[in-house]
């Protein structure tokens, strides 16, 4: 069964460094999302992407964040200058065009900012 | 701001018992998903409900969407240790690709 994949599974970085989290959504899906989950807290929406542009973003998704679909398969989240509070699990999700908003999640990238 | 409140937050039961998890909001959702999440992994979709009053069954799990599409419940019959995990409800305001709003989750522990 097709699934969303994410790399790396764990990223450790120094505060102020740039990180790029990568996702390969399910191949026939056209809507892409990033969510994050700080340890012990709710899963929070960051951004949605459709037709090569951001369709919605949350207050968390400030100028330090960007997303890109550089080719036909990858979907990336870049954090330009990481902060301690960016430490979290980052989940990519995707869904196909259809009547139901069924989003399928990847296994996540655990980002640790030191 | 739309919120989804799940209850209970923690539930510890014996194998064979029944349980119900609730997901409530003051807002209407176009659809509601239930996910299960294991530690260190991503949420895995269990079911989507879209119609008010809808009931869906997945083996021993029964999901219901409230008539007004503001709340949902997950009922597990004869729980087994393999049901242990974090159960999340997530609502969508629209079915056009909008974000999911998650509840805080119910941590279920089923003891043999």
pLDDT by residue for chain A (114 residues), tens only, comes to 789 999 999 999 999 999 999 999 999 899 999 999 999 899 999 999 999 999 999 999 999 999 999 887 899 999 999 999 999 999 999 999 887 889 999 999 999 999
Mean local confidence (pLDDT), B76-98: 90
d(CA B33, nearest CA chain A) in Å = 7
Mutate which of A43, A88, A100 to test chain B, going by most B C-beta atoms within 10 A?
Answer: A43
Residue the block writes with tokens 């999340």: B88
pLDDT of residue B1: 60
Output DSSP code: residue B105: -
Report percent pLDDT > 70 for chain B: 96
A41 and B104 within 8 Å at the Cβ level: the answer is yes
B31 and A100 within 8 Å at the Cβ level: the answer is yes
d(CA A66, nearest CA chain B) in Å = 17
pLDDT of residue B18: 97
Residue of A nearest to B3 (CA): A42
pLDDT of residue A1: 78
d(CA B43, nearest CA chain A) in Å = 6
Residues in B touching A89 (Cβ below 8 Å): 40
Q: Residue B2's pLDDT band (boundaries 50, 70, 90)?
A: low
B98 and A108 within 8 Å at the Cβ level: the answer is no
Q: Which CATH architecture has domain B5-111?
A: Sandwich (2.60)
A-B Cβ pairs (cutoff 8 Å, strict): 70
pLDDT above 90 (res B95): no
pLDDT of residue B41: 92
pLDDT of residue A99: 78
d(CA B23, nearest CA chain A) in Å = 14
Which CATH number goes with the domain that contains A78?
A: 2.60.40.10
B97 or B30: whose pLDDT is higher? B30
Q: B19 at the A interface (CB within 8 A)?
A: no
Full domain range(s) for residue A56: 5-113
- Spell out the long-range contacts of B26-29 with Cβ–Cβ below 8 A and sequence spacing 24 or more: B26/B70, B27/B2, B27/B3, B27/B70, B27/B91, B27/B93, B28/B68, B28/B69, B28/B70, B29/B2, B29/B69, B29/B70, B29/B91, B29/B92, B29/B93, B29/B101
What is the number of domains present in chain A? 1
A105 and B43 within 8 Å at the Cβ level: the answer is yes
Q: Residue B96's pLDDT band (boundaries 50, 70, 90)?
A: low
pLDDT of residue A15: 97
The helices-and-strands tally (H runs, E runs) of chain B is: 0, 11
Domain boundaries along the sequence of chain B: 5-111
Cβ-based neighbour number of residue A46 at 10 Å = 22
């Amino acid at each position: 069964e097709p699934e969303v994949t994410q790399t790396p599974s764990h990223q450790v970085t120094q505060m102020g460094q740039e990180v790029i989290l990568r996702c390969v959504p399910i191949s026939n899906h056209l809507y892409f999302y990033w969510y994050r989950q700080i340890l012990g807290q709710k899963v929070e929406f960051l951004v949605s992407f459709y037709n090569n542009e951001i369709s919605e973003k949350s207050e968390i998704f400030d100028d330090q964040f960007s997303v890109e679909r550089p080719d036909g398969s990858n979907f990336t989240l870049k954090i330009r200058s990481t902060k301690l509070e960016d430490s979290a699990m980052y989940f990519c999700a995707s869904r196909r065009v259809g009547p139901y908003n069924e989003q399928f999640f990847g296994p996540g990238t655990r980002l640790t900012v030191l | 701001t739309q919120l989804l409140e799940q209850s209970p937050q923690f539930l510890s039961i014996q194998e064979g018992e029944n349980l119900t998890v609730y997901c409530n909001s003051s807002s209407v959702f176009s659809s509601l998903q239930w996910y299960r999440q294991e530690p260190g992994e991503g949420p895995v979709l269990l079911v989507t409900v879209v119609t008010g009053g809808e009931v869906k069954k997945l083996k021993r799990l029964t999901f219901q969407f409230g008539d007004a599409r503001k709340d949902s419940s997950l009922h597990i019959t004869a729980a087994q240790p393999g049901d242990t995990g974090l159960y999340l409800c997530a609502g969508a305001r629209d079915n056009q690709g909008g974000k999911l709003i998650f509840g805080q989750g119910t941590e279920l522990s089923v003891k043999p």
